[in-house]
Amino acid sequence: MKGLRLTIAKHTINTILDTLGENDFVNIIAYSDYVRYVEPCFKGMLVQADLDNREAAALGQGSLCNQAIMLITDGAMEDFQDVFKDFNWPDRRVRVFTYLIGREMTFADNVKWIACNNKGYYTHVSTLADVQENVMEYLHVLSRPMVINHDHDIIWTEAYMDSVLFNTQAQSLLLMTSVAMPVFSKKKETLSHGILLGVVGTDVALRELMRLAPRYKLGVHGYAYLITNNGYILSHPDLRPLYKEGKKLKPKPNYNSVDLSEVEWEDTEEKLRTAMVKGETGGMSLDVRTSVDKGVSTFALIVSK
């Protein structure tokens, strides 16, 4: 694959990656006579689709909710029925979405057969202008079971910086999160089709969430913090997401991918982080490492409730 076809293929891959988030797992494999992992560090595994990993994959076993293969090709000489029969049939647990790149339609039947017989969706991408619209089709297919079952999953995003306009008309750069949920069609004639109408959501300043913490229970040296279900910090006293460039404050690269284990240094296993990611309640006592003068590590006792 060369020239415009290769450009369209790369753009298709990047567009698919942009639809993924921290709750998704991904890898990219290039192939001709042999297969090659685009990012050698990710060989033989699926990696979390956070910003760092998506960028690494674009340049160079997850949740079992939906598993999919995106086949991006400019042609298939056969339909590889034996392969799918051995590895994916009869359950068809892995959906296969196919993207035929370029104007040539010689192998369209084979590429379409692969998608249709593996609960996927076939798309013909002939120009760069087609990429954005056609990539989004796979989201509608994957969302159908959720729509039919009316699973109104609520999603909170990672932390991000945004300007907020206050009543005083003054603007301030704040850490924010967004909460969103899907909107389904409830018309009787469309219930069996599983039509996703869109997403509704709102932005929330993290400092407003932190105000809900009962400070009187924390004690003099206590503090509260927020993390995502993936263990990334939303808000923490030791998180420094901004830096000064001249007179302007700018966000640090990938500040929203800081893991709790990078800030709360537990001396043994990551019991606190694991418990919080699992959403457990209660309290525990454990030893943690803390930095003091000259970089010497000492031990302190932290109690989480």
The mean per-residue pLDDT over the stretch 158-175 comes to 76
Note the pLDDT of residue 166: 64
Residue 169 lies in a domain: no
Note the pLDDT of residue 16: 95
Residue 249 lies in a domain: no
More confident site: 286 or 78: 78
The mean per-residue pLDDT over the stretch 163-183 comes to 79
Least confident range of 167-171, 180-184, 214-218: 167-171
Residues β-bridged to residue 289: 265, 299
Which of 125, 149, 173 lies at the terminal end of a domain, its last residue?
A: 149
Cα(130)–Cα(168) distance, rounded to whole angstroms?
Answer: 44
Helix axes 3-18 and 51-59, enclosed angle (nearest 10)? 170
Residue 205 lies in a domain: no
- The answer to whether residues 133 and 9 belong to one domain is yes
Note the pLDDT of residue 240: 86
Residue 246 lies in a domain: no
Buried b / exposed e along 227-239 (16+ C-beta atoms within 10 A): bbeebbbbbbeeb
Note the pLDDT of residue 300: 40
Q: What residue numbers bound the domain in which 283 lies?
A: 264-305
Residue 235 lies in a domain: no
With cut-offs at 50, 70 and 90, classify the pLDDT of residue 121: very high
Note the pLDDT of residue 277: 87
Note the pLDDT of residue 113: 97
Bin 279: left if φ > 0, else alpha if -120 < ψ < 50, else beta. left
Residue 12 lies in a domain: yes
Q: pLDDT tens across 61-118, in order?
A: 444 578 999 999 998 889 999 999 999 999 999 999 999 999 888 889 999 999 999 9
Task: Specify the residue for token string 């709360």.
Answer: 264
Cα(10)–Cα(29) distance, rounded to whole angstroms?
Answer: 12
Contact present, 54 and 17 (Cβ < 8 Å):
yes
Which of 124, 149, 174 lies at the terminal end of a domain, its last residue?
A: 149
Residue 226 lies in a domain: no
Handedness of CA 189, 191, 195, 198 (dihedral sign): positive
- The answer to whether residues 280 and 142 belong to one domain is no
Q: pLDDT tens across 199-241, in order?
A: 999 999 998 899 888 888 888 888 889 998 888 999 898 888 8
Cα(291)–Cα(154) distance, rounded to whole angstroms?
Answer: 38
Whether the predicted pLDDT of 26 surpasses 80: yes
CATH of the domain at 60: 3.40.50.410
Say how many domains are in the chain.
Answer: 2
What are 29's two structure tokens?
A: 């494999």
Note the pLDDT of residue 108: 92
- Most confident range (mean pLDDT) of 175-179, 221-225, 294-298 is 175-179
Q: pLDDT tens across 28-42, in order?
A: 999 888 899 998 989
SS3 198: strand
- The answer to whether residues 145 and 16 belong to one domain is yes
- The answer to whether residues 14 and 139 belong to one domain is yes
Note the pLDDT of residue 90: 94
Angle among Cα 52, 95, 228 to the nearest 5 degrees reads 35
In degrees rounded to 5, what are phi and psi of residue 245? Answer: -125, 100
Residue 123 lies in a domain: yes
Which residues are CB-neighbours of 141 under 8 A, at least 6 positions away?
A: 95, 97, 119, 120, 121
Cα(277)–Cα(275) distance, rounded to whole angstroms?
Answer: 6
**pLDDT > 90: percent of the chain:** 34
Which of 130, 149, 168 lies at the terminal end of a domain, its last residue?
A: 149
Whether the predicted pLDDT of 132 surpasses 70: yes
Q: pLDDT tens across 239-267, in order?
A: 888 888 888 888 888 888 888 888 888 76
Which residues are CB-neighbours of 123 under 8 A, at least 6 positions away?
A: 97, 98, 99, 100, 134, 135, 137
